[in-house]
Amino acid sequence: MTALGLLLTGLGVVLLFDAGLIAVGNIAFLAGISMIIGVQKTVVFFTRRDKLRGSVAFFAGFLLVLVKWPIFGILVEAFGFLNLFGDFFPVVISFLRSLPVVGRVFSLPGIRQVVDRIGGYPSQYPV
């Protein structure tokens, strides 16, 4: 459900910010998160004091999408998403680096520096 939500949201953006697809994608994403960690832990995650700014931005963006302002809504949602889930990027990147094909792609010269910066790894080369 989480992947479906991200896919539908991305598809809604690609199809010229279709508000319906983005809204359904957001609902599926939240439902998927609730299925992965449980409803109570999802509520606790979104209401934590250190995640409050991201939660407000994410849900404000969702509301903007619902009132048919999808461009502004997706921008506000993206800010909230990065604030909420930015701590997980290093974990996801190190998992993806352990995969056979994706790990090789992440080791390519141009891509390695970008992935290191996103993942919070110290870069070998100063930028």
| 43-89 pLDDT tens trace | 999 999 999 999 999 999 999 999 999 999 999 999 999 999 988 88
**Alpha carbon distance 51, 109 (integer Å):** 34
**Alpha carbon distance 74, 21 (integer Å):** 12
Instruction: Quote the pLDDT of residue 4.
Output: 96
Residue 36 binned pLDDT confidence (cut-offs 50, 70, 90): very high
Q: Scanning the structure block, which residue is given the tokens 């995969």?
A: 99
Residue 66 near residue 24 (C-beta atoms within 8 A): no
Average pLDDT, the chain: 91
Instruction: Quote the pLDDT of residue 126.
Output: 52
Instruction: Quote the pLDDT of residue 35.
Output: 96
**Whole-model pTM over 0.85:** no
Residue 124 binned pLDDT confidence (cut-offs 50, 70, 90): low
Residue 90 binned pLDDT confidence (cut-offs 50, 70, 90): confident
Sorted by where each begins, the domain ranges of the chain are 2-87, 90-119
**Alpha carbon distance 120, 103 (integer Å):** 17
